[in-house]
Chains A and B, each alone.
Chain A
């Protein structure tokens, strides 16, 4: 008989289930299959009701985050061979309410994303849509924020963040990294407009520097560093405005 691998998945259907269940599937083992390949196999061949999100299957759209043996991972780029012959447990991303099976509620994240004003803000508004020329930006200036542009909004960092787990109002790693990204873009002049949100009670200061967000980030965005640097930035800004006497 061909080799098999056991995958246990959290099941929950609000129409029929009062609480979460676990269901185990045995599937043929392929050493070059990702977990997403396995889920697609289960859905097509064994159980059409199994529900999860995916889209690009190439680790760039950010849809397929889930807990894989307790760690937040992307299902499409996590391989069965990492676990075989051991078993695999799949759960919905931690710290988010569950909608169904492996699908979690992201409304809170989507709202916060908007609050940080992630777009180029100019003092002179007519600059923003002026197509007669491009802004000049050197590669060196780009290096100041480029790493933070790589976030795919997969929310793995929220699932890893103990602070977010305790205080869902915490703005959280990816959104702070996004604020950092725009604040440090030489084309942007909107730092002041973002400060209130980032420096609020639920902003950067809630972070206790656990660093798990950076640990799990599949794109090496390093949200933890963005948070610490934003803290420094806000502290110095507060200090200087204090000196100038306008606070």
Chain B
């Protein structure tokens, strides 16, 4: 098999991957670095982020305040040392991206403008209208083009990590265009593969978010962390789950039930619509369960009302919200309320790594939504994620540069034999055409239904047990899939099969961790254990793959300055 050789390989061309790539190229342009991505980088999911990116820039704000808000928002499950690093680096990172061309909205005096966001005690969410992720990703992508030393493999699909004796040597990847698999050898690999959202039916996530990074790492023997914490965003557009940004509430939008009542006053009277996402999402579900939602073709929903903001403000601050409502729901928010309900949105957990992105596999790093440092703990505050991509993308890049200065590459023979093992597996598991009865599409539909119903916003012992069983059955059905074709060029069916396999593996972990965590904390809400239980559960969960399924361990939370307290808004 062909071997393409690099010093550092970054898997993923979203915000985190590109930030890492630029950092490496800048710090040490003599390194052979590459970014590999299953879509052209600017098609990565970061492009869809809307509301903004949080960082301390203003005189009335401080790093301690940003840290405290983040830790409280996390329901005290974030590692506080990591959060401190995060808020400190954030300030420089957002200025850096400004210098790289991001068209941030401006204050009167020409400095970067900030807006309110849920759970933040200051106006610190910097924004480029409501297309912040779009502008940030394009600024990163375009700036990355400046570095001739940064090679790209666009539209390549990484199928496995090649790990020998606890040390990464590269990856096995499919060139979608030719259908040929190659080994990409690298002394260090940085995984920036994004989240897992596509295993849910009602989700704000792009089609590419299929848990690939987490599943690869898990199969390679390293743990994944805190997977039970899935964030549901309060405002998904009915039918599609497309996101209506939190900035719509940050700019002053109201939530109404069918009785015309701003029901948030019953749940978070001091913050109202600006309470953190976990609280607002659950409040909406409570309203719907109590029969106070509107009825539509696709189920119950409530109203997000922006009309009182007026057309000028909507066009200035929320133009994309208007575009999305018009294009995808036929509703004009200038004149009509928006029909919404909570949508699966973000993966707080991910590949276990430290604040330099380091994982337990030597030479393997993770950053962005794929990683779990953890700064989000049980619940991420909106607008902390875009900043996270910048901060931890850059940090992982620098750590990898340092590591490869002394690291030795894996031997080509060893890589060849690891790749061959994996190729045999791919042939056997995915490529058998025609002799299986199960359809990929049907299994995916059932997985997504299971996750929505059994591992959704509210969880119970019974539901989770069911969920785990159903997922196990889907895994068995997966053994009997067949592809309708064996084509080489752009065989998206083969890619779908690999992605589904990854999602099944990680869905199992999510359900299992959710079952073991018999408490409610942040995004993880158990109907049967409605309160937080610090005595038994103030810890991270680490999950390893084993022959008998997922094996779970725990890891203490790092607490520095802020003692856990009840979370009230």
Cβ contacts under 8 Å, A47 to chain B:
484
Q: How far is the CB of A119 from chain B (nearest CB, A)?
A: 5
Cβ contact within 8 Å between B110 and A137: yes
Of the residues B106, B323, B328, contact of A139 by C-beta under 8 Å: B106
Query: What residues of chain A lie closer than 8 Å to B323, measured between beta carbons?
Result: 59
Given known contacts A14-B489, A45-B441, A149-B135, A57 and B242 CB-to-CB distance under 8 angstroms: yes
- As a 0/1 sequence over residues 98 to 133 of chain B, the CB contacts with chain A under 8 angstroms (1 = contact) are 111101011001111000000000000000000100
Find residues 4-61 in chain B having any chain A CB closer than 8 Å to their own CB. 26, 39-40, 42-45, 47-48, 57
Whether B95 contacts A119 by the Cβ 8 Å rule is no
Q: How far is the CA of A14 from the CA of B45 in the complex (A)?
A: 30
Q: A140 to nearest B CB, angstroms?
A: 9
Interface residue? A246 (CB, 8 A): no
A230 within 8 A of B: no
Given A99-B489, A139-B106, also A58-B101 (CB < 8 A)? no
- Contact call B207/A99, Cβ cutoff below 8 A: no
Map CB proximity to B onto A18-60 as digits: 1 under 8 Å, 0 otherwise: 0000000000000010100000000111011101011111111
Contact of B101 with A16 in the complex, beta carbons under 8 Å: no
- CB pair A136–B40 under 8 Å, yes or no, is no
Contacts known (A114-B145, A153-B42); A15 close to B489, Cβ less than 8 A? yes
Give Cα distance in the complex from A32 to B298, angstroms: 11
Decide if A61 touches B48 in the complex (CB within 8 Å). yes
Which of B106, B445, B493 has a CB less than 8 Å from the CB of A137? B106
The listed residue (A13, A15, A48, A182) touching B493 by CB distance below 8 A is A48
A201 proximal to B (CB < 8 A): no
Chain A contacts for B208, CB-based, 8 A: 55
Cα-based distance from A43 to B493 in the complex (angstroms): 9
A47-B484, A136-B111 are known contacts. Are A131 and B47 too (CB-CB below 8 A)? Answer: no
A49 contacts B493, C-beta separation under 8 Å: yes
Residues in A with CB closer than 8 Å to B103 are 142, 145-146, 149
| A130–B327 CA distance with the chains assembled, in angstroms | 40
Residue from B47, B48, B484 in contact with A49 in the complex, judged by beta carbons closer than 8 Å? B484
Could you tell me if A119 and B485 are in contact, using CB atoms closer than 8 angstroms? no
Measured CB to CB, the closest approach of chain A to B85, in angstroms, equals 16
Verify A99–B490 contact, CB threshold 8 A: yes
**Given A15-B488, A103-B490, A146-B103, do A57 and B135 touch, yes or no (CB 8 Å)?**
no
A54 to B483, CA, bound (A): 20
Among B43, B95, B445, B490, which residue has its beta carbon within 8 angstroms of that of A134?
A: B95
Q: B492 is contacted by which of A34, A51, A136, A178 (Cβ under 8 Å)?
A: A51
Assuming the contacts A118-B142, A187-B101, asked whether A59 and B327 have C-beta atoms less than 8 A apart, the reply is yes
What interface size band does chain B fall in? Answer: 35 or more
Q: 1/0 per residue B204-235: CB within 8 Å of A?
A: 00111000000000000000000000000000
Quick one: closest A residue to B329, CB to CB?
Answer: A32
Which of B145, B146, B207, B441 makes the CB contact (< 8 A) with A44? B441
The answer to whether A56 and B96 have CB atoms under 8 Å apart is no
A124 to B491, CA, bound (A): 48
- Tell me if B92 is interfacial: C-beta within 8 Å of chain A: yes
Q: Do A138 and B106 have beta carbons less than 8 Å apart?
A: yes
Does A4 reach chain B (CB closer than 8 Å)? Answer: no
Judge if A215 is at the interface, Cβ distance under 8 Å: no
* B328→A119 contact, CB < 8 A: no
| A129: Cβ under 8 A from any B Cβ | yes
Q: Does B143 contact A (CB under 8 A)?
A: yes
Which single member of A55, A110, A134, A182 contacts B45 (CB below 8 Å)? Answer: A55
What are some 25 contacts across the A-B interface (CB < 8 A)?
A13-B487, A43-B492, A43-B493, A44-B444, A47-B484, A49-B493, A55-B208, A56-B47, A56-B207, A58-B48, A59-B323, A60-B131, A60-B134, A60-B320, A61-B39, A61-B48, A62-B43, A63-B39, A118-B145, A120-B143, A132-B95, A134-B98, A149-B135, A153-B40, A188-B101
Known: A16-B487, A152-B47. 18 other contacts (CB 8 A): A32-B239, A44-B441, A44-B445, A48-B484, A48-B493, A55-B39, A55-B207, A56-B206, A57-B206, A57-B207, A58-B48, A59-B327, A61-B42, A106-B40, A128-B100, A139-B105, A141-B110, A153-B42
A interface residue numbers (CB < 8 A to B): 13-16, 32, 34, 43-45, 47-49, 51, 53-63, 77, 99-101, 103, 106, 110, 113-114, 117-120, 127-139, 141-142, 145-146, 149-150, 152-153, 178, 182, 185, 187-188
